[in-house]
Each structure stands twice: as C-alpha cells, then as structure tokens.
Amino acid sequence: MTQLQDKAYRVIGLGVLLLCVLHALCPVADPDFWWHLRTGEEMVRIGGLLPADPFGFAGDAALSARERALLHGYWAWQLSYYAVYAAAGFYGVVAANALVGLGIYGTLARLLGSGDRERSLSALLLLLSLAAFITYYSRFERPQVCSFLFGLWLIMLLDRFRDRQETSRWLFPLMFLWGNVHGGVVAGIGLLCLFALGAAIQLRHDRPLLTRGVLWAAGGAACGLLNPAVVFVIPEALGMFAGQQPMFREVVEYVATPQLFRQGHYWVVCLWLLMAAHGIALAVAERRWLADVFIFLAVALASFWYARHIALFAVCLLPQTAHYLHGAFRAGPRRVRPAAWAAGAVLLVLLAWHGYRRQEIAAAGRISPFYPVALTEFVRQAGLGGNAFNDYDWGGFLLWALAPETRLFWDGRCLDAEVYDQARRIRWLSLRPVDGRPEYAYLLDRHGVDVVIQKNISKIGLTEPLMRALLGREDWVAVYQDELGYVLVRNTGKYRQVIDRYRIDPATFLRNILTLYERGIAAGGDPQLLMGRGELHLYLGDLAAARRDLLAARQGLGNDEYLAQLLKKAAL
C-alpha cells in the first residue's frame, strides 16, 4: 500500500510540474513585464542604475521615494531577464518562466513527499496550492513570482530551526539576493522579525539558543537591507498596507479575496481551504512553535485582504501547513485517505481543463494578442514621436515598443502619484474649468500631448470618454484604427503629412467601433458590452437603439450606478 501511494504521489507531482510548464508556455502578457524588460535594456546601455525615469514626461525631475523604489528595486531581475531576452528572445523568457515555476513546485513536491508524510494529504495540499497560485497569478514573467520562491525557501530555513535548531548560512545569500530582485524582501524581513519575536518568548529560558536564533535572524534581515532601494521600499510598503496611496485602492491586486470571489475568481476557495486547514491544525496541535503562530496570523491576514499576496500563503506557507496538518492527520482516522486521493484527482483534472481551456500554448514565445503590435508598428513607421497620452494597461508595452521616440504619459509603474491622478482626470474627462478650459484639455496642453493611443473598447466594455470628446473637435484627427485600438493626433503642421495620408473620418471611425460591439455581443451577449454600445448610441443621437441596448444591459447588470445614469440620459 505504501509503494502504491508513493507511485500515485509521483504521478500527481509530475502532473503538477507539467502544469507549471504548460502555464509558462502561454504568450508573454504581464503588463508590467515590458517596462521591466526595457529598464534592463536601459541599464545595460548606460552601464548602471537609472538616475531618473527616461521614459515618461509628465512628472517632475525630482525622484520621490516611490520612484526610487520602482526604478532601483528590481535591478537584478531586470538585468537577468533582459540578458535572457537578448540571448534567446521570448522563447528564452518562456524558459526562464518555466524554471521559476519548476523551482517553486519542484521544491514543494520534494518536500511534501519526503519522510513519513501521508502521501494523499501531500498530493491534495500540492494541488490546492497550485490552484490558488496559477489561477490568479496568470503569468510567471514578473519579479514578484521570484519573491514567492524566495519566501518558500525562507520558511523552509525557519522550519529547520524549529525542528533541528539549525541556523543555516544559506539565509544570508538568500536574503541578499531577494533584496536585489524584488521589494517583497520587506515581507521576508517581516517574517524574520516574527520569528525572532516568537523565539524570544518561547526560548526565554534557553538563552544560548535564543541568542543564536535572534542573531541569525538579524543577520538575515541585515542582508536583505543590502540593496539600493530598501530605504525607499520599506516606507512605500507600509504606505501600501495602510492604504495611503489612492492608486493602490483601484488596482485589482489590492482587493480582498471575497471581492475576487464575487468577481468570478472561484479558485480563491482553494486559498480559503488551505487557511482553514492550517488554522485548525495549528489550533489542535499538541506542540506548536510560537513563531509559526505569529507567521500564520500575519500571512493569512495579508493574503486574505490583498489578492496580490495570495501566494504568500498558498506557496510560501505550505511547508508549515503540511507540518501541522500531517501531525493532526496521524492522530485521525485512515478513512480520510481515499477522500483525499479522490479530491486530489478531481482537482488535477479541473486544473488540466482550466489550462486547456485557455488554448494559448500554441502561441508560446510570442506576444499576447492583447497588445497592439500592429498599432506600434504604425506609430514607428509614421514617425509619430513626441508626448502621447496612452491606455494605462498598454503603457508598459508601448514603453517597450516606442520609447524613447514616443514618450508615454503613464504605465504600470505608477511612478508619480500626481501624474497618475492627472491621467485619470484626462481619461475620465474632467470638465472642471482651469484657465478658461475644461481641465482635461488644460492638462493635455500643459503637458504638450500631441498623440492619443487608446483601446476601441475598454476592459469594462465602454468607449473612452476622451475619444468621444476629441473626435468631435477640429484640432484632433484619427489617423489609425484596428480591432484593438486607435491613434489620434493633434491637427498641427507637425503631423500634416500623416494626417493627409491616413485621416479617418469620424463617421467611419465610430462605425468600426459599432462593428466591434456587434461581434462581441454576438459572441456572448456580455451586458457590459450592451451598456457600452448603448452609451455609444447615445453619443450618436440614436435614442431608440440606445434604449434597446441599455434595457437589455439592465437585465444582466441590475442596479449598476453608471447604467442608471445612462438610462436617465436616454429618458428611461
């Protein structure tokens, strides 16, 4: 029976590793990857860290703490991935992603399958962890994923002290590397502080061991501080958790997991199951290490309230989940074993189906179709340099593809909080009067914006307010449009030849967007698209069509606040 369980665990372990590889084979798509890649290239070009932001134009020259943290906090990862890309292109990036994924789950599979651990339970924990991880962290090509690998290794080192009173020297290079790869080292330093606190209480009667453990943890924390951005990363991280930055409150990564569930991310249930199992096992354990209790409470809270930190629990804390759960399982009934194997098998099939449904593996080594490759080719060939107001989600890709000839207003770095706020006021068409003009127009003029690059239909199913405003003005002209987005330019002599050759009249431009709406609605009847098309019909003055779409959208969206405003405008 033991040999059969070992074989079954190996099969599931191999299945988990295969799923990691398949996940890594998806097209390069993370919106932040592009500015990381371009930053690595720029550091190679100048031979050092960036002294200022070379890509944006809207902020001031002085670097804030946030800007320094973002410009200098990922330098080792950025240089490494740029070196891989320079040597092997996007196929090299895919290979690097696969190595990171295999590093995480190869470590976990080996650890959970060692010793006398119950194999059925280990297999189920491994699959729950993978489900919580890859179904939310849709891409591996981001430095944060390396933080989860380092966090996992850190927890394993802390567990060695708990089990064997071992103070491994590997802690010091691990923390140093982590500190220069990603700002998540702040979490690692926090874990070491919680470890030291627990040790100080639990080992207060064993001074030699306490001293050795605390000095070891302090040395690890000090190594994590040996990086060019730590002075700026720590206060920024504290501000993030305190909700001081308004931009954090609008980023999906910082929403609570219950909100994720309501948005359709049902796999987050796997995280909750891991939390519940860990908490119960810790509560009923005959012996528990106090530092583990502190770490559990802190990481569970962070992972529950901030979706960005799901893997802190689902990946990094899995060794401790397994430790306490296996302890509780040994005292429990063996009839749980068949249920664990059955649940694991079902979960493996569901994960395989989830990966197959994405149907992106054939495009491995390519750029995700989400990004406007053809549009950027047009901008380059037409020579549309200068200052551009751009779509936020495309910001990193546009930066990688068009900088420095075209400089972008904002991107996923959100370097300057004031610029971020100004960009929102432009995008959402602030009409507050400033110097006799609507604020959005004032800001466009103030920053010398000559080019606008946006999606035809935003990710929430609506057309862009800025597009609707500029399209009706004589001083802005549409010169490019494809199925993803468009380019508007200021009607000046600077772009006269481009305008004469590529001008798109507003009626044709809007008909193209209506065609895109028709295709999207025919494919699935998305109520957000119905609302967006209804709004566009309102803009065009077709009240009958607007009412039809808005009423249909109400069946799916209910009491949506913005829909109610549109219905009021349509006199419904």
Mean pLDDT of 295-312: 91
CB-CB neighbours of 399 under 10 Å: 26
Give the range among 301-310, 449-458, 480-489 with minimum mean pLDDT: 301-310
DSSP assignment of 164-194: H----TTHHHHHHHHHHH-TTHHHHHHHHHH
Q: What's the CA gap between 43 and 499, in Å, rounded?
A: 36
Residue position matching structure tokens 């369980």? 5
Give the pLDDT of residue 356.
Answer: 55
pLDDT digits (tens, 9 = 90+) for 358-374: 545 555 558 888 899 99
Give the pLDDT of residue 368.
Answer: 84
Spans of all domains in the chain: 2-362, 373-569
Give the pLDDT of residue 127.
Answer: 87
Give the pLDDT of residue 56.
Answer: 82
Of 101, 509, 113, give the one whose Cα is nearest residue 311: 101
DSSP assignment of 49-102: --SS-SSB-SS-SSPPHHHHHHHHTTHHHHHHHHHHHHHHHHHHHHHHHHHHHH
Average pLDDT of the chain to the nearest whole number: 88
The pLDDT-based confidence of 244 (bands split at 50, 70, 90) is very low
DSSP state of 363: G
DSSP state of 360: -
Token pair listed for 104: 């995480």
Percent pLDDT > 70 in the chain is 91
Give the pLDDT of residue 136.
Answer: 73
Mean pLDDT of 292-301: 94
Q: Are 464 and 495 in contact (CB under 8 A)?
A: no
Give the range among 244-253, 480-489, 546-555 with minimum mean pLDDT: 244-253
Give the range among 229-238, 264-273, 341-350 with minimum mean pLDDT: 229-238
Of 85, 180, 118, give the one whose Cα is nearest residue 322: 118
pLDDT digits (tens, 9 = 90+) for 181-240: 998 899 999 999 999 999 999 999 999 999 999 999 999 999 999 988 766 666 666 555
Chain Cα centroid distance, residue 58:
24
pLDDT at 572 over 80: no
pLDDT digits (tens, 9 = 90+) for 475-520: 999 999 999 999 999 999 999 999 999 999 999 999 999 999 999 9
551 or 342, greater pLDDT: 551
| pTM reported for the whole predicted model | 0.88
Q: What's the CA gap between 133 and 529, in Å, rounded?
A: 30
The pLDDT-based confidence of 245 (bands split at 50, 70, 90) is low
Between the CA atoms of 283, 287, 291 and 292, what dihedral angle is there, to the nearest 10 degrees?
-50
Give the pLDDT of residue 355.
Answer: 61
The pLDDT-based confidence of 430 (bands split at 50, 70, 90) is very high
Residue 406 bridge partners (DSSP): 386
